[in-house]
Chain A
Amino acid sequence: MSEILVLVEHVEGQVKKVTLELLTLARKLGAPSAVWAGPGYTAEAQARLAEHGAEKVYVADSADIADHVVAPKAELLAQLATEKSAAAVLVAATAEAKEIAARLAIKLDAGILTDVVGIQDGMVAEHSIFGGGVNVRARVTKGLPIIAVRPNSTPVEPAAGAGAEERVSVAVSDAARAVRVVERVKEEKGARPELTEAAIVVSGGRGVGSAENFSIIEKLADSLGAAVGASRAATDAGWYPHQFQVGQTGKTVSPQLYIAAGISGAIQHRAGMQTAKTIVAINKDPEAPIFELADFGVVGDLHQVVPQLTEEIAKRK
């Protein structure tokens, strides 16, 4: 069976959930080969990749890859795709992985599909576009398919693979080393799951009213083990940091459960959350468009409803 390269997403040595989703998808398409680029590789990571079907684990962790963004990883994937005659390359639809995929596509003269939510037989990719309003099926017509898959779009299914480790040395070009990482700045984010990966997201909007009041949203999120999101109105007002913005000019999330509190549901917001499986809305305005999407909605003041919900969840645990 031909190899399907899966670029591993990892943070501090931990394999991220989206990679397990990609391995699950890749098993349907061929023999999954995980590609680890950058520092932090451990036997534990190898085992986790193998448990989810990786037949091979390619490891490239030289400083050339760690100290530069995007370009060296594209060179690594191009080298592997050619050497191993890979049938496809799967990456997560994150900002950096999409850029890696973009440069890879040019190097291999191969087509790229981004923000894919499913892959059917014949490598036909499913997309959800225009804020979830239109479903599109597309395929690559030149070269091997390079597909960036949106996190949370495939349920993870473990299945053992051989997980054979193979060290890869890649001759990174001078051009790919042109952008140096001078410093990596980590901002406090606490113990909450990452927004695009989280199974549950609780978001607050204009109705929250102030930065202080976002603690109501955070408490509900923590009671559910959820990530916190914010609408553009809330980030524009400076109530919550921009990297948590959900919507057209922010992050796209596709969780199992999305709770929107004090968010009216303008198209710009819906574009970032409409593919959530279950949507709950809490808003004072019965006419708010968010209620058109909601599986369950409460017309009421979030400052009453949300704390009561948090308390109720605590009671039922």
Chain B
Amino acid sequence: MNIVVCVKQVPDTATERKLRSDDKTLDRDAADGVINELCEYAVEEALRLKEAHGGEVTVLTMGPGKATDTIRKALAMGADKAVHLVDDALHGSDALGTSYALAQTLKKIGFDLVVLGSESTDARTGVLAAMLAERLGVPQLTFSNKVEVNGETITAQRVTDYGYDRVEASLPAVVSVVEKINEPRYPSFKGIMAAKKKPVTTLGIADAEIDASQVGLANSWSEVVDFAAAPPRAAGTIVKDEGDGGVKTADFLASKKFV
């Protein structure tokens, strides 16, 4: 099975994240770039499916040059090779532009199964997997906490507010995973060393037959009008519990008409 796992580099949540004042896009230089957490679960799931069914796992990342750190991390976990889609023309693409660019690349490199994390920690739109399925014309099995492949059939548990839906489709397909689907492995020392020698193919937009008029900030379907730091919350009242903390909290709730 030819599995492609989409991996995104995001600014570390633990550092201060900013938008750029010039073009209002994410300031990727201001914060450390790390692998998006849910992408680790996607890589793990791809590796487990490969271990069960054979085949190959390819990492696909769209992002600036520094995203190679994130690609190496996925390779160190055990992926076989990587494709890095990198082009200045892609800067500032919104979800529609990004899904178009990734779909074109996926058509170019081929796949039986595409695996993604269900959302990224920076934009948190949660729409990319559905967009890829729509653009590629293949089934989407998204927000999965369990995935099984049996021949050409793929089944998944789609997490819902009330429990889960068991869904079924035929390959090729797009899968997105939620956090509790597995426990991502830590790269071993051997894995880290091996990752340095694994092939990483760099593609520009022409290589992936991406139409420049469909990507980048200027061609996005939406724009940021303006932004500002949220006003800080007014300092609250903090009391020490002296045996009456519950009563005092009830007083506060009553003053706000919650009780």
Neighbouring A residues of B127 by C-beta, 8 Å: 98-99, 101-102, 112, 114
Q: Is B206 an interface residue (CB 8 A)?
A: no
Interface residues in A67-123 (C-beta closer than 8 Å to B): 69-71, 74, 94-96, 98-103, 105-107, 109-115
Known contacts being A112-B127, A114-B125, A249-B121, is A291 close to B221, with CB within 8 Å?
Answer: no
Candidates A112, A131, A243; contact of B221 at CB < 8 Å = A112
Q: Does A43 contact B (CB under 8 A)?
A: no
In the bound complex, CA of A305 to CA of B121 (Å): 34
Interfacial chain B residues near A170, Cβ < 8 Å: none
Find out whether the CB atom of B238 lies under 8 angstroms from the CB atom of A312: no
Mark the stretch among A24-32, A57-65, A154-162, A293-301 that contacts chain B: A293-301
CB-CB under 8 A for A103 and B237, given A112-B221, A133-B17, A307-B246: no
Tally chain B residues at the interface, Cβ within 8 Å.
84
Give CA–CA (A128, B170) in the complex, Å.
38
Segment of B72-80, B91-99, B107-115 in the binding face: B91-99
Q: Which residues of A contact B164 (CB under 8 A)?
A: 185, 187
Query: In the complex, what residues of A have CB within 8 A of residue B157's CB?
Result: 185
Most chain A CB within a 10 A radius of its CB, from B99, B125, B170, B239: B125
B254 shortest CB reach to chain A, Å: 7
Residue B54 interfacial (CB < 8 Å): no
Tell me if A200 is interfacial: C-beta within 8 Å of chain B. Answer: yes
A126 to B232, CA, bound (A): 17
Q: Are A71 and B249 in contact (CB under 8 A)?
A: no
Contact A299–B253 (Cβ < 8 Å): no
Segment of A47-55, A134-142, A203-211 in the binding face: A134-142
Residue A167 CB within 8 A of the other chain: no
Whether the Cβ atoms of A186 and B162 lie closer than 8 Å is yes
CB-based contact A257/B258 at 8 Å: yes
Known A-B contacts A136-B227, A305-B249; A298 and B239 likewise in contact (beta carbons under 8 Å): yes
- Whether the Cβ atoms of B221 and A140 lie closer than 8 Å is yes
- In angstroms, how far is the closest chain A Cβ from the Cβ of B127? 4
| Most interface-central of B159, B168, B227, B246 (chain A CB within 10 A) | B246
Q: Is the CB of A138 within 8 A of B225?
A: yes
Complex formed: what's the CA distance from A130 to B258 in Å? 29
Say if the beta carbon of A22 comes within 8 Å of chain B. no
B248 contacts the other chain (CB 8 A): yes
Task: Decide: B220 and A95 in contact? CB cutoff 8 A.
Answer: no
Tell whether B82 is near chain A: CB-to-CB under 8 Å.
no
Q: Is B140 an interface residue (CB 8 A)?
A: yes
A37 at the interface (CB under 8 A from B): no
Bound-state CA distance A186–B162 (Å) is 5
Specify which of B17, B137, B142, B241 lies most central, judged by the most chain A CB atoms within 10 Å of its CB. Answer: B241
A111 and B222 in contact (CB under 8 A), knowing A134-B228, A135-B230, A249-B38? yes
A183 with B230: in contact, given A114-B127, A137-B225 (CB under 8 Å)? no
Partner of B96, one of A112, A137, A200, A245: A112
A191 interface residue (CB < 8 Å to B): no
B162 CB to nearest chain A CB (Å): 5
Q: Does A124 belong to the interface (CB within 8 Å)?
A: yes
Report the minimal beta-carbon distance from A88 to chain B, rounded to whole angstroms.
13
Question: Within 8 Å CB of A133, what residues of B?
Answer: 17, 229-230
A297→B226 CA distance, assembly (Å): 34
> Is A132 part of the contact surface with B, judged by Cβ < 8 Å?
yes
Report which of B17, B19, B125 forms a contact with A136, defined as CB distance below 8 A. Answer: B19
Select one of A139, A267, A305 contacting B14, CB under 8 A: A267
Q: Which of A106, A129, A312 contacts B135 (CB 8 A)?
A: A106
B117-157, CB < 8 A from A: 118, 121-122, 124-131, 133-135, 137-143, 145, 155, 157
Identify the closest chain B residue to A309 (Cβ): B246
Q: Is A194 at the interface (CB under 8 A from chain B)?
A: yes
Residues in chain B near residue A185, CB distance under 8 A: 157, 163-166
B-chain residues with CB within 8 Å of residue A45 when the two chains form the complex: none
Q: Are B159 and A134 in contact (CB under 8 A)?
A: no
Q: Are B247 and A308 in contact (CB under 8 A)?
A: yes
Q: A67 vs B140: C-alpha distance in the bound complex, in angstroms?
A: 14
Contact of A308 with B19 at beta-carbon distance under 8 Å, contacts A124-B225, A180-B168 already known: no
Nearest neighbor of B19 in chain A, beta-carbon distance: A134
Contact check, A111 vs B96: say whether CB atoms are below 8 A apart. yes
Question: 1/0 per residue B158-177: CB within 8 Å of A?
Answer: 11111111111110000000
The reply to whether B254 and A316 form a contact with Cβ atoms under 8 Å apart is: yes
Q: Which residues of B contact A98 (CB under 8 A)?
A: 125-127, 130
Task: Say if the beta carbon of A182 comes within 8 Å of chain B.
Answer: yes
Contact, CB under 8 Å: B223 / A138: yes
Q: Knowing that A102-B95, A134-B230, A286-B238 touch, tell me 20 more A-B residue pairs with CB under 8 angstroms.
A: A102-B128, A110-B221, A131-B13, A136-B227, A137-B226, A143-B221, A183-B166, A184-B166, A200-B258, A248-B13, A256-B258, A278-B258, A293-B236, A295-B234, A305-B246, A305-B249, A306-B246, A309-B250, A316-B250, A316-B254
**Interface, chain A (partner B; CB < 8 A):** 11, 69-71, 74, 94-96, 98-103, 105-107, 109-115, 124, 128-143, 175, 178-187, 189, 194-196, 200, 224, 235, 242-243, 245, 248-250, 252, 256-257, 267-268, 271, 278-280, 282, 286, 291-301, 304-313, 316-317
Closest 7 CB pairs of A and B: A300-B241, A308-B246, A111-B221, A102-B127, A187-B163, A309-B246, A99-B130
